């Protein structure tokens, strides 16, 4: 260890990282609460489950306002960025595809070779070739989306949703809900006030069209109620209050994305199952009352197992969705929390963790799809023992 | 559902986006890359097979060459042996012929010598008889009558023919 440190380059790196860690420790929320030094502190970013709308106005509006409107969200944008990245790589490889591989083609072939080997070892050569495109697309999309999602800029650069707009929206939402439930105006007003007192907003500095959060502003978090009061008294002094709407948000932290992949995966699994066993052959797996109709009382067990199979098919959809969403969303929250506690380098190990989790989740999703497909296309014996 | 952020428009957008991605990647990446990977493994397999074939071919041709060389060597040896036999026979014949010739020559020479000697002896006898007669005439001109003369000559002739016969 001592000999290792005597290398001046290594020593310099260790010193710089150590100093940065100490500065982060002192400057972050951890240092703020321990020593009262919060010079790097910023408030915890606003965390919400639904992805944020990129524009205030809906992209396509169908029906009455607030219903059936199509908003472009930041996670959709991240999805498209992911797709763009993958297609660019595909184009680059396609353009100089040769029998003697070079550069990027090598990388792609290594990944393909590994996956094809895996898929063929699980599903057999012929079926493997059929399942391979979907399995690898799922893997590539999820892993790219996850890894892009921890790049700087995701979740930190965006537009400022003004406090006035947020308050207006909140008021509108509660009023509508109250009217539906036939509450009196006084009750609704009371509910709105309670909600505004709960709603936290962040204070930004800025000039022109650029707003930013200055360092060490951790305490400058106010509720919407306080904002309205300050606004009434004219105490704002040109500061901007609102919430950040990031332009980009990791695609899989929006439930729509994992759910859509899960839907496609399960749809294809059912499709392959029906194709391999025939419609009735495959359907017998779920509605298995053949032996019951033939007068065997124990056929009831088969029928019950069939029902369970049907339920488990649905459960797979949900576990697919929430496993991926939960892991990636939790990772984002973890990064936000660590950035809040120990800024600068304290967060670095967790980036490593997120890289690992992002890869593992993509791999699990792809492999489970493959296994379900293999199970669905396997020829079952027909219940007779 | 609204609280979780699941909504139909968002869901449909995500599904369409994913399907577009799937379609584009399928056409742009999976099909061509898999095709090229298959092509490559096909090529490598063919290359290995042809190398194996070439190796076997080489082994076989070497064996063939070895066999041919062996054959040629055996043939050469046979030829040499045959040639040597012929030479031997030829030498033998020539020797026999030479020996016969020599013997013939010797016999002829011997016969010649015999004849020459006979001739010489005849000549000598003739001459000697003449000489002896003349010498005897001179020596014993008066002592001998006709009768004695004749006996003496006969006797001398008898002796000379005995000499000749020897």
Compare B14 and A42 and report the one with higher pLDDT. Answer: B14
With beta carbons under 8 A apart, name residues in chain B contacting A80.
Answer: 17
A320 Cβ contact partners less than 8 Å away, ≥ 6 residues apart: A258, A261, A262, A265, A266, A365, A368
Which percentage of chain B shows pLDDT scores above 70?
92
Asked whether A118 and A106 are in contact (CB, 8 A), the reply is no
Using CA coordinates, name the residue in chain B closest to A135: B22
For residue A338, give the nearest of A47, A18, A25, A49 by alpha carbon.
Answer: A25
Average pLDDT of the residues in B32-54: 93
> Nearest Cβ partner of B24 from A90, A97, A108?
A90
pLDDT at A384: 42
B144 Cβ contact partners less than 8 Å away, ≥ 6 residues apart: B136, B152
> Domain extents for chain B?
43-165
User: Residue A208 — left, alpha, or beta (φ > 0 → left; ψ -120 to 50 → alpha)?
Assistant: left
Asked whether A26 and A18 are in contact (CB, 8 A), the reply is no
Distance from CA of A68 to the nearest CA of B (A): 8
Asked whether A178 and A187 are in contact (CB, 8 A), the reply is yes
- Give pLDDT tens digits for A192-233: 888 888 788 877 777 767 777 776 655 567 787 777 777 777
Question: How many degrees, rounded to 5, is the angle at CA A127 between CA A79 and CA A258?
Answer: 20
- φ, ψ of residue A184 in degrees (nearest 5): -75, 160
With beta carbons under 8 A apart, name residues in chain B contacting A137.
Answer: 18, 21-22, 25-26
Where do the H-state alpha helices sit in chain A? 2-5, 8-27, 29-35, 74-95, 104-123, 125-149, 163-180, 185-198, 224-233, 256-277, 279-283, 290-293, 299-341, 348-377
Going B5 to B6 to B9 to B12, the CA torsion angle's sign is positive
Beta bridge partners of B5: none
Task: Calculate the average pLDDT of chain B.
Answer: 87
Q: How many CB pairs under 8 A join A and B?
A: 108
pLDDT at A68: 63
pLDDT at A385: 40
C-alpha to C-alpha distance for B143 and B147, rounded to whole angstroms: 11
Residue B1: helix, strand or coil by DSSP?
coil
With beta carbons under 8 A apart, name residues in chain A contacting B2.
Answer: 50
With beta carbons under 8 A apart, name residues in chain A contacting B38.
Answer: none
For residue A265, give the nearest of B2, B14, B62 by alpha carbon.
Answer: B14
CB-based contact A94 B28, cutoff 8 Å: yes
C-alpha to C-alpha distance for A196 and A216, rounded to whole angstroms: 25
ipTM higher than threshold 0.90: no
Residue A245: helix, strand or coil by DSSP?
strand
For residue A40, give the nearest of A350, A344, A244 by alpha carbon.
Answer: A344
DSSP 8-state class, residue B155: H
For residue A32, give the nearest of A244, A221, A217 by alpha carbon.
Answer: A217
Using CA coordinates, name the residue in chain A closest to B19: A264
- Give pLDDT tens digits for A305-330: 888 888 988 999 999 999 999 999 99
A257 Cβ contact partners less than 8 Å away, ≥ 6 residues apart: A75, A79, A145, A251, B14
With beta carbons under 8 A apart, name residues in chain B contacting A107.
Answer: none
Tokens 């060597």 map to which residue? Answer: B73
Asked whether A131 and A123 are in contact (CB, 8 A), the reply is yes
CB-based contact B9 A70, cutoff 8 Å: yes
Residue A223: helix, strand or coil by DSSP?
strand
> Nearest Cβ partner of A259 from B11, B29, B32?
B11
Compare B108 and B161 and report the one with higher pLDDT. Answer: B108
pLDDT band at B103 (very low <50, low <70, confident <90, very high): very high
- Give pLDDT tens digits for A162-187: 788 888 888 888 888 888 888 788 88
- Give pLDDT tens digits for A52-86: 887 777 777 666 555 567 888 888 999 999 999 99
Distance from CA of A88 to the nearest CA of B (A): 10
pLDDT at A27: 79
Question: Per the structure block, which two tokens stand in for A354?
Answer: 């997120």
Q: Residue A337, class by beta-carbon neighbours within 10 Å (0-12 exposed, 13-18 middle, 19+ buried)?
A: middle
Residue B121: helix, strand or coil by DSSP?
helix
Asked whether A379 and A277 are in contact (CB, 8 A), the reply is yes
Average pLDDT of the residues in A359-371: 95
pLDDT at A330: 93
Global pTM reads: 0.76
C-alpha to C-alpha distance for A258 and A329, rounded to whole angstroms: 11
Interface test with A, best of B21, B36, B42 (most A CBs within 10 A): B21
C-alpha to C-alpha distance for B101 and B99, rounded to whole angstroms: 5
With beta carbons under 8 A apart, name residues in chain B contacting A98.
Answer: 36
Tokens 């399942």 map to which residue? Answer: A131
- Residues belonging to chain B with any Cβ–Cβ distance to chain A shorter than 8 Å: 2-7, 9-11, 13-15, 17-22, 24-26, 28-30, 32-34, 36-37, 39-40, 43
């Amino acid at each position: 260890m001592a000999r290792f440190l005597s290398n001046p380059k290594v020593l310099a790196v260790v010193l710089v990282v150590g100093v940065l860690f100490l500065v982060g420790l002192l400057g972050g929320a951890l240092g703020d609460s321990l020593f009262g030094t919060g010079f790097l502190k910023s408030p915890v970013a606003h965390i919400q489950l639904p992805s944020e709308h990129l524009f205030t106005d809906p992209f396509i509006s169908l029906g009455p306002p607030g219903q059936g409107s199509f908003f472009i969200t930041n996670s959709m944008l991240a999805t498209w960025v992911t797709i763009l990245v993958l297609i660019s790589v595909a184009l680059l490889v396609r353009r100089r595809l040769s029998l003697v591989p070079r550069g990027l083609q090598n990388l792609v072939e290594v990944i393909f070779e590994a996956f094809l080997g895996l898929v063929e070892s699980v599903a057999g050569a012929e079926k493997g070739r059929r399942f391979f495109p979907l399995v690898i697309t799922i893997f590539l999309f999820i892993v790219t989306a996850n890894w892009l999602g921890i790049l700087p800029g995701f979740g930190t650069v965006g537009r400022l949703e003004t406090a006035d707009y947020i308050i207006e929206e909140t008021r509108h939402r509660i009023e509508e809900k109250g009217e539906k439930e036939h509450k009196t105006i006084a009750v609704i007003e009371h509910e709105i006030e309670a909600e505004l007192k709960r709603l936290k907003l962040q204070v930004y500095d800025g000039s022109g069209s650029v707003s930013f959060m200055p360092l060490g502003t951790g305490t400058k978090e106010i509720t919407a109620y306080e904002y309205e009061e300050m606004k009434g008294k004219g105490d704002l002094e040109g500061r901007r209050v609102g919430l950040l709407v990031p332009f980009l948000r990791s695609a899989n932290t929006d439930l729509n994305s994992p759910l859509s992949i899960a839907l496609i995966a399960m749809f294809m699994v059912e499709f392959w199952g029906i194709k391999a066993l025939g419609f009735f052959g495959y359907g017998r797996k779920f509605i298995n009352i053949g032996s019951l109709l033939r007068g065997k009382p124990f056929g009831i067990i088969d029928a019950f197992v069939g029902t369970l199979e049907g339920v488990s098919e649905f459960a797979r959809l949900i576990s697919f969705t929430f496993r991926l969403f939960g892991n990636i969303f939790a990772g984002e929250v973890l990064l936000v929390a660590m950035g809040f506690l120990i800024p600068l380098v304290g967060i670095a190990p967790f980036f490593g963790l997120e890289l690992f989790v992002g890869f593992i989740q993509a791999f699990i999703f792809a492999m489970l799809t493959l296994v379900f497909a293999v199970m669905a296309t396997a020829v079952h014996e027909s219940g007779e023992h | 559902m609204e609280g979780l952020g699941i909504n139909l428009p968002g869901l449909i957008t995500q599904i369409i986006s994913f399907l577009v991605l799937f379609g584009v990647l399928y056409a742009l990446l999976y099909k061509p890359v898999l095709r090229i990977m298959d092509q490559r493994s096909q090529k490598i397999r063919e290359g290995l097979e042809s190398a194996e074939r070439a190796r076997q071919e080489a082994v076989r041709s070497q064996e063939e060459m070895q066999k041919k060389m062996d054959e040629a060597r055996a043939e050469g040896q046979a030829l040499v042996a045959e040639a040597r036999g012929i030479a031997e026979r030829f030498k033998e014949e020539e020797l026999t012929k030479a020996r016969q010739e020599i013997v013939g020559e010797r016999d002829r020479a011997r016969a010649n010598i015999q004849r020459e000697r006979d001739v010489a002896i005849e000549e000598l006898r003739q001459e000697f008889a003449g000489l002896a007669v003349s010498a005897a005439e001179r020596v014993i001109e008066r002592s001998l009558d006709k009768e004695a003369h004749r006996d003496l000559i006969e006797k001398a002739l008898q002796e000379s023919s005995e000499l000749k016969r020897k």
